[in-house]
């Protein structure tokens, strides 16, 4: 377990380029299993979750070549199906959420997959019903193996069908798409998740020979094909990292430029920051955040207190609410943060309260923040990062606080943010990494 020692009060100044998107990369790397041909992927983030997934692919027999720091090629021409029944595979799967998306491609191409309990953030119940029901509807059978503590999934043949998903699950939709592209006949997925990362997956699959209609909508029609071939794909910039940097810049009174953000793929996020009182200038495909001496939270048009709530795309991502929450503590005005999707993601506010923030945790899903308008800057403290996004929120709080804070368990931050300490120190932060 490593620790960040963060000296607060330093303003940032300069340019920063967002990393490739973690949650897109997890889907795309799993999709490389769908073809025996070579697939080259650019802009892969160098983060713990992705490196773990790549090492699992290697152990499954995928030939992985690192072409440059963020570009790899993958060739799944000779897969060792025995590996996926080993205790090692089961243990590694439990270290990240993305491993759940091996199921769709494996069952589509090899008729066999093993699904141990996947890992990922411990942020409340994270059910997999959508994955199971969808893949089962395509004709695969799930059987729980009590010795392995994992499901075995078998299918002689997958057959296209109509399905209305019980919820617009992101990884569930990706898994079902990856199974359906090689199924016989036509699959219709209604209530599909449709965020840019799912769109990117669909576009890559189409370049590999898949036939998918309705990309970008919640109604996908997939005409199954016999086989897929190789391609090259570039991962989008990580919208959650972009949002984290916007919030960090405002809260620390910094002037920074975010380079090449793929603005049109950011959805409602930039406007949501504007409603928090943060000024953003869009220059080409860059976002400039000018130095803020203060910012004031908007109200709704009827004058009532603003709420930021998560919703499936094109709503606001749940992964950004921890950032909105911490940034609101130093705004003028009040806001309700309503985390509808996950029930254990707001408990980190206790630490912000210790630092002097005015927050009432109304229940596990809702926190009311009374911004102090920088009258009382936060005080440094010691904290433990419980999940990726609480971790980055704690880092933002520490960077804006008076004094030196310690953030333990920063592996949680490293799961999703590439070399965050080095990249922020390069533009003026003072963050020291200590390995315990």
Ligand X SMILES: CC(=O)N[C@H]1[C@@H](OP(=O)(O)OP(=O)(O)OC[C@H]2O[C@@H](n3ccc(=O)[nH]c3=O)[C@H](O)[C@@H]2O)O[C@H](CO)[C@@H](O)[C@@H]1O
Ligand Y SMILES: C=C(OP(=O)(O)O)C(=O)O
Q: Residue 346: which region, alpha, beta or left (left: phi > 0; alpha: psi -120 to 50)?
A: alpha
Is residue 319 annotated as involved in ligand binding?
yes
Nearer to ligand X, 98 or 277 (CB): 98
**CA distance between the termini of the chain:** 6
Residue 292 beta carbon to ligand Y: minimum distance, rounded to whole angstroms = 25
User: What DSSP string runs through 41-69?
Assistant: EES----HHHHHHHHHHHHHT-EEEEEET
Nearer to ligand Y, 101 or 380 (CB): 101
Q: Which does 416 bind (CB under 5 to 8 A by kind): ligand Y, ligand X, none?
A: ligand Y
Q: Is 24 in the site for ligand Y (CB under 6 A)?
A: no
Nearer to ligand Y, 120 or 277 (CB): 120
Residue 432 beta carbon to ligand X: minimum distance, rounded to whole angstroms = 28
Chain-centroid distance, C-alpha 391: 14
Q: In what order do the strands lie in the sheet with 359-363?
A: 306-309, 332-338, 366-372, 359-363
Q: Which of 24, 121, 414, 418 binds ligand Y (CB under 6 A)?
A: 121
121 is catalytic: yes
| Cβ neighbours of residue 278 closer than 8 Å, sequence gap 6 or more | 246, 247, 250, 289, 292, 295, 327
Q: Which does 44 bind (CB under 5 to 8 A by kind): ligand Y, ligand X, none?
A: none
Is residue 341 annotated as involved in ligand binding?
yes
User: What DSSP string runs through 176-223?
Assistant: HHHHHTTSBSEEEEES----HHHHHHHHHHHHTT-EEE-TTSSEEEEE
Look up residue 376 and give its two tokens: 């009382």
376: how many CB neighbours lie within 10 A of its CB? 14
Is residue 97 annotated as involved in ligand binding?
yes
Is residue 129 annotated as involved in ligand binding?
no
Q: Which of 8, 18, 45, 120 binds ligand Y (CB under 6 A)?
A: 120
Q: Which does 317 bind (CB under 5 to 8 A by kind): ligand X, ligand Y, none?
A: ligand X
Residue 340 beta carbon to ligand X: minimum distance, rounded to whole angstroms = 6
Nearer to ligand Y, 265 or 319 (CB): 319
3-state secondary structure string, 221-280?
EEECCCCCCCEEEECCECHHHHHHHHHHHHHCCCEEEECCCCHHHCCCHHHHHHHCCCCC
DSSP state of 338: E
3-state secondary structure of 91: helix
Nearer to ligand Y, 51 or 73 (CB): 51
Q: Which residue is nearest to ligand Y (CB)?
A: 120
Q: Which does 386 bind (CB under 5 to 8 A by kind): ligand X, ligand Y, none?
A: none
Query: Could you give the CA distance from residue 118 to residue 94 in angstroms, rounded to a whole number?
Result: 4
Nearer to ligand X, 197 or 273 (CB): 197
Residue 224 beta carbon to ligand Y: minimum distance, rounded to whole angstroms = 28
Q: Is 416 in the site for ligand Y (CB under 6 A)?
A: yes
Residue with token string 């020692």: 5
Residue 103 beta carbon to ligand X: minimum distance, rounded to whole angstroms = 13
Cβ(101)–Cβ(26) below 8 Å: yes
Q: Which does 167 bind (CB under 5 to 8 A by kind): ligand X, ligand Y, none?
A: ligand X
Residue 388 beta carbon to ligand X: minimum distance, rounded to whole angstroms = 8
Q: Is 388 in the site for ligand Y (CB under 6 A)?
A: yes
User: Considering only CA atoms, which of 217, 205, 145 is closest in space to residue 181?
Assistant: 205
Q: Which of 265, 319, 414, 418 binds ligand Y (CB under 6 A)?
A: 319
Which positions lie near ligand X, rule CB under 6 A?
Answer: 23, 26, 97-98, 126-127, 167-172, 312, 317-319, 341-342
Cβ(353)–Cβ(321) below 8 Å: no
Nearer to ligand X, 171 or 257 (CB): 171
Look up residue 269 and give its two tokens: 């996020």
Query: Could you give the CA distance from residue 328 to residue 319 in angstroms, rounded to a whole number?
Result: 16
Q: Which residues within the stretch 81-100 sit at the binding site for ligand Y (CB under 6 A)?
A: 97
Task: Give the active site residue among 13, 46, 121, 271.
Answer: 121
Look up residue 256 and give its two tokens: 């920074």
Residue 195 beta carbon to ligand X: minimum distance, rounded to whole angstroms = 7
Q: Which does 312 bind (CB under 5 to 8 A by kind): ligand X, ligand Y, none?
A: ligand X
Q: Which does 388 bind (CB under 5 to 8 A by kind): ligand X, ligand Y, none?
A: ligand Y
| Cβ neighbours of residue 289 closer than 8 Å, sequence gap 6 or more | 245, 246, 249, 250, 254, 255, 256, 257, 258, 278, 279, 280, 281
Which residues line the annotated binding site for UDP-N-acetyl-alpha-D-glucosamine?
Answer: 97, 319, 341
Binding residue ranges? 22-23, 97, 319, 341
User: Which residues does the annotation mark as catalytic?
Assistant: 121
- Residues at the binding site for phosphoenolpyruvate are 22-23
Which residues would be at the binding site for ligand Y (CB under 6 A)?
A: 22-23, 97, 120-121, 319, 388-389, 416
């Amino acid at each position: 377990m490593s620790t960040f020692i963060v000296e607060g009060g330093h303003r940032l100044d300069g340019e920063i380029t967002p990393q490739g998107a973690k949650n897109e990369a997890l889907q795309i790397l799993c999709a490389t299993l769908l073809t025996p041909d070579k697939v080259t992927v650019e802009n892969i983030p160098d983060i713990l979750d992705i490196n773990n997934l790549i090492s699992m692919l290697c152990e499954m027999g995928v030939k992985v070549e690192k072409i440059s720091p963020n570009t790899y090629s993958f060739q799944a021409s000779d897969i060792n199906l025995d590996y996926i029944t080993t205790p090692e595979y089961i243990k590694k799967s439990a270290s990240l959420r993305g491993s759940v998306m091996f199921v769709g491609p494996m069952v589509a191409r090899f008729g066999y997959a093993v699904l141990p309990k996947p890992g990922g953030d411990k942020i409340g119940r994270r059910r997999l019903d959508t994955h199971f029901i969808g893949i089962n509807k395509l004709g695969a059978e799930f059987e729980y193996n009590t010795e392995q503590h994992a499901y075995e999934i078998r299918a002689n043949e997958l057959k296209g069908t109509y399905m209305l998903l019980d919820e617009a699950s992101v990884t569930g939709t990706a898994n079902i798409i990856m199974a359906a592209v090689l199924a016989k006949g036509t699959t219709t997925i209604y209530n599909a998740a449709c965020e840019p990362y799912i769109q990117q997956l669909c576009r890559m699959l189409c370049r590999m020979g898949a036939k998918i209609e309705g990309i970008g909508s919640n109604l996908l029609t997939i005409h199954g094909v016999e086989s897929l071939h190789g391609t090259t794909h570039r991962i989008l910039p990580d919208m959650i990292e972009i949002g984290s940097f916007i919030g960090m810049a405002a809260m620390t009174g910094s002037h920074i430029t975010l380079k090449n953000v793929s603005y049109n793929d950011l959805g409602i996020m930039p406007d949501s920051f504007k409603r928090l009182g943060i000024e953003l200038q869009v220059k080409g495909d860059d976002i400039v955040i000018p130095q803020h001496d203060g910012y004031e939270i908007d109200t709704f048009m009827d004058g009532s207190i603003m709420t930021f709530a998560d919703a499936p795309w094109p709503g606001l991502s749940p992964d950004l609410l921890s950032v909105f929450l911490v940034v609101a503590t130093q705004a003028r005005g009040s806001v309700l943060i309503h985390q509808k999707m996950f029930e254990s993601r707001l408990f980190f506010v206790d630490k912000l309260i210790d630092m002097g923030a005015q927050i009432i945790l109304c229940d596990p899903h809702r926190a009311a923040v009374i911004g102090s308008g920088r009258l009382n800057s936060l005080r440094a403290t010691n904290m433990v990062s419980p999940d990726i996004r609480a971790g980055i929120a704690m880092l933002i709080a520490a960077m804006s606080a008076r004094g030196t804070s310690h953030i333990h368990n920063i592996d949680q931050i490293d799961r999703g943010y590439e070399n965050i300490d080095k990249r922020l120190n390069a533009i003026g932060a003072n963050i020291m990494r200590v390995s315990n």
